[in-house]
Amino acid sequence: MRLQVEWNWPSVGTECGTVLGPKGYGAVQVAPPQDSIRLAGSSHAWWDVYQPVGYDLNSRMGGEAQFASMVSACHAAGVKVYVDAVLNHTAGSNQTSTDSYGGDSFNPAAYTYAAIGYTSSNFHFDPPCPNSDLSIKDWNNVTQVQECQLLSLSDLYTEQDSVRGKLAGYLNKLEGYGVDGFRMDSAKHIAQADMAAILARTNNTNAGARPYVYQEVMPGGSGALAPAAFEGNGNVLGFDYAYGIRSAFLGRGIRCGARRWRCRRTQRSSTSTSRRIRTARSSGSPAATGRPVPGLRGRSR
């Protein structure tokens, strides 16, 4: 899979036809396609597309027709399209801009998003968040992680049926254009039961399959916040896999957990590379077997 998270839709479509398809890529992950906040001065910070203000498909990356054309071009090249989906929150409550790329009307300070139909009643406050400033103070506390604000981002009340319906409707719209699956941004901050309820409302893809779901769950938690606790709703991005690869390139060896293939720390030497290869082969690692989708935990797809 190739990540094209900062590319506009015409460029992604062209890349699918001229590079990704011919090179044998199976899928491409694209940026969040919904309308989002636009900061004053048009600074185009990478993170502004992760602050939704409307679920129409007129965004920083292009218009709805351009999005549909991109998906069709990628499919024609044999490349599936996975969308980065932001369901946990809307724009930051600390933002002063009321401008968006697609023109949707919103007021982050008042928690109103006219194009979607959200009002302040559709967001988590205190309670259920136990902190008056709505911040997360204890990252091992399930209630705080899932019902308080992540970095001041307005946290949606995903327990509400109306909110679930709007989020599922957005995903179904994307599937209607041929989208094959979703990377769930900030999935750790959405209760597993809420995510399951949203996904239960999604349609099959145009290919007749369930949408492929993989979730952003940062490591470090335990119990209900451990990455394994989210696997019932789809795959989980393996951040420890990336950390291990980085460590190997820096000559520190690969640190392995109980859920990873067996490996051993090797010292820098002329034989270190062959040692790593032998260790991987003896245990059936993705590097040795060529298994698809490295770095994902949970259900294989």
Q: Exposed/middle/buried for 144, CB within 10 Å: 0-12, 13-18, 19+?
A: buried
Residues tagged active-site: 185, 216
State the average pLDDT over residues 93-105.
Answer: 95
The pLDDT of residue 257 is above 80: no
State the average pLDDT over residues 99-127.
Answer: 97
State the average pLDDT over residues 228-241.
Answer: 93
Cβ contact 62:14 at 8 Å: no
Q: Which residues is 254 bridged to in the sheet?
A: none
**What residue segments make up the domains of the chain, in order of their start?**
2-237, 250-301
Q: Which amino acid, one-letter code, is at 172?
A: N
Tens digit of pLDDT for each residue in 4-37?
Answer: 778 999 999 999 999 999 999 999 999 999 999 9
In the prediction, which pLDDT does 256 show? 53
In the prediction, which pLDDT does 287 show? 32
Pick from 67-81, 87-101, 281-295: least confident: 281-295
How far apart, in whole angstroms, are the C-alpha atoms of residue 198 and residue 279? Answer: 42
State the average pLDDT over residues 113-117.
Answer: 98
Cβ contact 39:101 at 8 Å: no
Please state which CATH class domain 2-237 belongs to.
alpha beta
Residue-averaged pLDDT of the chain: 86
pLDDT band at 244 (very low <50, low <70, confident <90, very high): confident
Tens digit of pLDDT for each residue in 136-173?
Answer: 999 999 999 999 999 999 999 999 999 999 999 999 99
Q: What is the rounded end-to-end Cα distance, in angstroms, of the chain? A: 13
The pLDDT of residue 252 is above 80: no
State the average pLDDT over residues 118-128.
Answer: 98
The pLDDT of residue 278 is above 80: no
Whole-model pTM: value is 0.83
